[in-house]
Chain A
Amino acid sequence: MATFKDFRNSVKPNWCPGCGDFSVQAAIQRAAANVGIEPHELAVVAGIGCSGRIAGYINSYGFHGIHGRALPIAQGLKMANRDLNVIASGGDGDGFAIGMAHTVHAIRRNIDITYVVMDNQIYGLTKGQTSPRSAKGFITKSTPEGAIEPSLKPLEVALSSGATFVAQGFSTDIKELTALIEAGIQHKGFSFINVFSPCVTYNKVNTYEWFKEHLTKLSDIEGYDSSNRELAMQTVMEKEGLVTGIIYQDTETKSYQEKIPGFAEAPLNSLDMNLSEDQFNQLVKEFM
């Protein structure tokens, strides 16, 4: 059986020393090993930005696509091969700005993949502009007087879009994060995991210390029930999104693949592509 070391490759990440993304990468590698899959049974599809490079840093099939489009590529891949484990990943700009439409619709659609967002509330690779996740008043190169738009609330968006799995982690807590990603991979449907992954170079406000001070673990809230969507929404709103753990999970709703009429149980890429002469003639006859 593969260990997390088998999911390491020889590529040296070009992230800044101290970047939160290192821990996210490690958590994905550990989670993959923990669920008992082999490197070739995993595909990581990523977007563009610092975090997007993650697809190249894990020893698995990796697809580093276009800015904002990791989710449609990942969903297409899963449709072609339902036996494959597919993790999509990217940053907050990728998933909540340019790719926001895909995020909401991937959540609604509920194809069985896992989406890990590395949320650092800033645009890093383009060297420090505001993100939809930047807090109001946040000073960046593109908002020298402070951001005037309110910050987007991904957990509330996910919950109101019909998500069947919503979790949030913090990159420092690799143990919790690994467990969340494991649960996400095992969830039958779309699993959305937002991860606070601090940018040590451009975000001097939402630092490791800041998160440690502000985050609440859901496991510390007495009576929290992750199968209760109303409670999840209420808690997320009360805590202004600053919680970690499995926020909501619906284990009853079937995944998209299980709902599509006639969808093959074997991977599509294994089906016979040729029509028999009878099959073809039948189709032709319908036009006569």
Chain B
Amino acid sequence: MLHQLSWKVGGQQGEGIESTGEIFSMAMNRLGYHLYGYRHFSSRIKGGHTNNKITVRPTEVRSIADDLDILVAFDQETIEVNYKELTEKSIILADAKFEPVKPEDSKAPLFVVPFTEIATELGTSLMKNMVAIGATSALLNLETSVFQGVVEEIFGRKGEEVVQKNMDAIQKGYDAMSELLGDRVGEWELAPADGKRRMFMIGNDAVALGAIAAGSRFMAAYPITPASEIMEYMIKKLPKLGGAVIQTEDEIAAATMAIGANYGGVRAFTASAGPGLSLMMEAIGLSGMTEQPLVIFDTQRGGPSTGLPTKQEQSDLMAMLYGTHGEIPKVVIAPSTLEEAFFDTIQAFNIAEELQLPVIVITDLQLALGKQTTDPFDYSKIQVRRGKLVDREIEPNDNKDYFKRYENTEDGISPRVFPGTPNGIHHVTGVEHDETGKPSEAAGNRNTQMDKRFRKLENLNFDTPIYVNAPHEEADVLLVGFNSTRGAIEEAQERLNEEGLKVNHAHARLIFPFPSSEMAPLVASAKKVIVVENNKTGQLANIMKMNVGGHDKIVSLTKYDGTPFLPGELKTKVKELLD
């Protein structure tokens, strides 16, 4: 009996590979299994190899599995591209239609099943995916009835007959596979799950749900991979809450429109990836200078320029920290799980309004698009805090002096009033300005306002800036990462600790201002610090060195080929670096 199953389906893009994975995952989710999915796809609509790898466990799953137990192939390319992940205990299921050939050095046996033929006999070759799901359920020794609910949900509106045909396809696939398996039945059976229902979502869903829970009712955005799902979710939900989404002409308009809406008093945001963020730099500066709240999501993907648009990377860090000319206070947050993505989104909206500045939430493609299970988010932990909004009536003044929107207060945070408020008139400008917002280039005023803006950061109250799992007082090595590398690092840490090494783990959730006082003792108590990140130049390692020192013990473990870190790979590389 298996305690983890790693299943992958592959074929040409546009062939329904994604929905095959989706149906399989949904059924497993309903049985109470924990899931972690990762899609390999290209920047095209039809054609090109695509695959969906799903790791299933009865217990918490935090990372993509190293190996593959079952590979379902709809073309030879799928076998060629993926067979190296297979072990002696694995199996390849391939459609008879393309006359599959087992690579000479494949450790796993090839089972040929007439997916397309069975589907065609039932009426349409489109159902070959359902036949493959049926074959999978035979391997897992799962009754086909577990798919009934999911199939009804997906095909129900097409009528009972379609539902029945798809269930028939699953059953035929099951039967065909059972026959082929012979006495190997039960070899891939997975330990039973707890039957508890969990949310099954991508990081972009968690972020979008967070935005709605945070009270955001306006979004402006431009489509881009891998951020578009955030906009699409908002388009589905906001009309039901009275709000709206505008798909703008570009990301410059998206970010500046969000600034305009925040100025107007509604929580507004935008979401994009590297190329879009490059276009938003002037808006980020405007938000900082005019002290208008702005929340931006950067779902990092492979850069630079158009780069690797559908691949994993974490190389926008420096740009997010330092991007925009001149100097403004800003906050950069990096959630690493679905739960953090949800709650950090709420934190981001609160901080943006409380400190009146731009907050950038960075995720990465693996978190943004990887579909995972998570326990339902806790409603009671949702908090909306808006900071210093003027809720009193403002006294008129006779000499037409403007309201002191940029009052030089002790904590640097000035009272905020929305257009439309009687006696609250003030000026807003990206030019250096005085307390009422009127342009002023006087040296003294410049210092006052610059210092005031930066003083706001001292009020930052961020919940859990670093996720820490440090079982050792004195560690051989501290592993540091951010965003979606968390699960792979956790598993590598676990395995290394089992081998007797003393490994601690710190995952940065707040990147700017960097939580130096929390990170420093962790660095101090480790002999070596390995910073794991999906980029070429070791950006987080450099940020660590700038903020906490430790130049003599910080080393980088980077990967920038577009693929995520796997736990086994990490373990090996960490050991190499320690030798």
| Binary contact track B411-449/A, C-beta < 8 Å → 1, others 0 | 000000011111111111111000001110000000000
Q: Which residue of B lies closest to A268 (CB)?
A: B266
Does A132 count as interface, using CB distance less than 8 angstroms?
no
User: Which of chain B's residues have a CB closer than 8 A to the CB of A10?
Assistant: 399-401
Question: Quick check: is B282 within 8 A (CB to CB) of the other chain?
Answer: yes
Q: Report B530 CB to chain A, min CB distance, Å.
A: 35
Least CB separation from A287: chain B residue: B199
Could you tell me if B376 and A284 are in contact, using CB atoms closer than 8 angstroms?
yes
Instruction: Please give the number of chain B residues whose Cβ is less than 8 angstroms from any Cβ of chain A in the complex.
Output: 73
Task: Using A73-B256, A283-B209 as known contacts, say yes or no to A271 and B423 having CB atoms under 8 A apart.
Answer: no
Contacts of A266 in B (CB 8 A): 242
The complex places the Cα of A10 from the Cα of B436 at a distance, in Å, of: 12
- The answer to whether B260 touches A72, judged by C-beta atoms less than 8 angstroms apart, is yes
B264 adjacent to chain A (CB < 8 Å) = yes
User: How far apart are the CA atoms of A138 and B153 in the complex, in Å?
Assistant: 67
B217: interface (CB < 8 Å): yes
A61 with B242, Cβ < 8 A, contacts A271-B217, A288-B197 known: no
Contact residues, A208-260 vs B (CB, 8 A): 260
Q: Are B217 and A77 in touch, CB under 8 angstroms?
A: no
Q: Give chain B interface residues in 157-204, CB to chain A under 8 Å.
A: 197-201
Known: A80-B266, A263-B239. A56 touches B419 (CB 8 A): no
Q: Is B565 an interface residue (CB 8 A)?
A: no
Question: Is there an interface contact between B425 and A288, defined as CB atoms closer than 8 Å?
Answer: no
B286 to A, closest residue via Cβ: A66
Stretch in A23-31, A176-184, A186-194, A273-281 touching the partner:
A273-281
Q: Are B250 and A101 in contact (CB under 8 A)?
A: yes
Q: Please measure, in the bound complex, the distance between the C-alpha atom of A288 and the C-alpha atom of B217, giving whole angstroms.
A: 24
- B376, A277: Cβ atoms under 8 Å? no
Among B249, B283, B399, B419, which residue has the most Cβ atoms of chain A within 10 A?
A: B419
In the complex, what residues of A have CB within 8 A of residue B201's CB?
287
Asked whether any CB of chain A lies closer than 8 Å to the CB of B550, the reply is: no
Bound Cα distance A280, B211 (Å):
12
Q: Does B123 sit at the interface, judged by CB under 8 A? A: no
B419 near A77 with CB under 8 A, answer yes
A76 pairs with B384, CB closer than 8 A: no
Asked whether A69 lies within 8 Å of B256 as measured between CB atoms, the reply is yes
Given contacts A10-B400, A40-B424, A83-B420, contact A105 B209 (CB under 8 A): no
**B428–A62 touching, CB < 8 Å:** yes
Cross-chain contact A81 with B419 (CB below 8 angstroms):
yes
Q: Would you call B558 an interface residue if the criterion is a C-beta within 8 Å of the partner chain's C-beta atoms?
A: no
B199 and A79 contact, CB distance less than 8 A: no
The answer to whether B384 touches A274, judged by C-beta atoms less than 8 angstroms apart, is: yes
Docked CA distance A7–B395 (Å): 18
Residues on the B chain within 8 Å of A268, using CB: 217-218, 242-244, 261, 264, 266
Would A64 and B257 be within 8 Å (CB), given that A83-B420, A263-B242, A271-B241 are in contact? no
Q: How far is the CA of A62 from the CA of B253 in the complex (A)?
A: 19
* A residues in contact with B260, CB < 8 Å: 45, 63, 72-80
What 1/0 flags go to A29-58 for Cβ under 8 Å of B?
000000000111101010010000001100
Whether A60 sits at the interface, judged by CB under 8 Å, is yes
Q: Are B240 and A65 in contact (CB under 8 A)?
A: no
What is the chain B residue whose CB lies nearest that of A257? B244
Does B17 make an interface contact (CB < 8 A)?
no
Q: With the chains together, A59 CA to B422 CA distance in Å?
A: 12
Quick one: which of A114-158 are within 8 Å of B by CB? none
Say whether A287 contacts B261, CB under 8 Å.
no
Known: A40-B421, A64-B427. A288 touches B376 (CB 8 A): yes
Q: Name the residue of chain B whose CB is nearest to the CB of A272.
A: B215
Residue contact B427 to A62, C-beta cutoff 8 Å: yes
Residues from 72 to 122 in A contacting B, C-beta threshold 8 Å: 72-81, 83-84, 101-102, 104-105, 109
Chain A binding site: helix, strand, loop or mixed by DSSP? mixed
Cβ of B286 and Cβ of A65 under 8 Å apart? yes
Residue of B nearest to A48 (CB): B430
Question: Across the interface, do B261 and A271 meet the contact criterion of CB distance under 8 Å?
Answer: no
Per-position 1/0 for B369-382, Cβ under 8 A of A: 00000001101001
Compute how far the CA of A77 lies from the CA of B424 in the bound complex, rounded to whole angstroms.
16
Residues of A within 8 A of B364 (CB): none
Q: Does A264 contact B (CB under 8 A)?
A: yes
Is there contact, CB below 8 Å, between B426 and A61? yes
The distance from the CB of B426 to the nearest CB of chain A, in whole angstroms, is: 7
Also in contact, A76 and B218, with CB within 8 A (given A64-B427, A66-B256): yes
Let me know if A66 and B283 touch, CB within 8 A: yes
Given contacts A263-B242, A273-B217, A280-B379, contact A81 B265 (CB under 8 A): yes
CB–CB B266/A260 < 8 A: no
B205 contacts A287, CB within 8 Å?
yes
Most buried by B among A39, A72, A81, A104: A72
CB atoms of B400 and A262 under 8 A apart: no
Q: Give Cα distance in the complex from A71 to B254, angstroms.
A: 11
B237 at the interface (CB under 8 A from A): yes
Assess whether B268 is interfacial by the CB under 8 Å rule.
yes
Residues of B222-280 whose CB lies within 8 A of A = 237-244, 246, 248-250, 252-254, 256-268
Choose among A71, A73, A269, A277 the residue with the greatest number of B CB atoms under 10 Å from its CB: A73
Q: A62-B427, A72-B248 are in contact. Are A260 and B239 (CB under 8 A)?
A: yes
Known A-B contacts A73-B260, A269-B418; the reply to A65 vs B427 at CB < 8 A is no
Q: Which residue of A lies closest to B264 (CB)?
A: A80
Decide yes or no whether B212 CB sits under 8 A from chain A.
yes
Q: Shortest CB–CB separation between residue B72 and chain A, in angstroms?
A: 25
B122, CB-defined interface residue at 8 Å:
no
Q: Are A76 and B439 in contact (CB-based, < 8 A)?
A: no
Residue of B nearest to A10 (CB): B400
Q: Shortest Cβ distance from A67 into chain B, in angstroms?
A: 8
B110 at the interface (CB under 8 A from A): no
Most buried by A among B239, B426, B428: B428
- Could you say which of B239, B264, B384, B424 contacts A273, with CB atoms under 8 Å apart? B384
Chain A residue with Cβ nearest B216: A273
**Chain A residues positioned under 8 Å from B429 (CB to CB):** 55-56, 62-65
Contact A81 B420 (CB under 8 A): yes
**In the complex, B213 has a CB within 8 A of chain A:** yes
- Chain B residues, Cβ within 8 Å of A40: 419-425
Instruction: Decide if A274 touches B215 in the complex (CB within 8 Å).
Output: yes
15 contacts between A and B (CB under 8 A): A40-B424, A48-B430, A60-B425, A65-B256, A65-B259, A72-B254, A73-B263, A76-B218, A76-B259, A101-B249, A102-B252, A261-B239, A263-B242, A266-B242, A280-B213
Q: B residues near A, CB below 8 A?
A: 29, 197-201, 205, 209, 212-215, 217-218, 220, 237-244, 246, 248-250, 252-254, 256-268, 282-283, 286, 290, 376-377, 379, 382, 384, 399-402, 418-431, 437-439
Q: A63-B260, A66-B282 are in contact. List 17 more A-B contacts (CB 8 A).
A: A43-B419, A43-B420, A45-B260, A55-B427, A56-B429, A59-B400, A60-B425, A65-B256, A65-B286, A73-B256, A75-B246, A78-B260, A264-B242, A268-B243, A271-B241, A273-B214, A280-B382
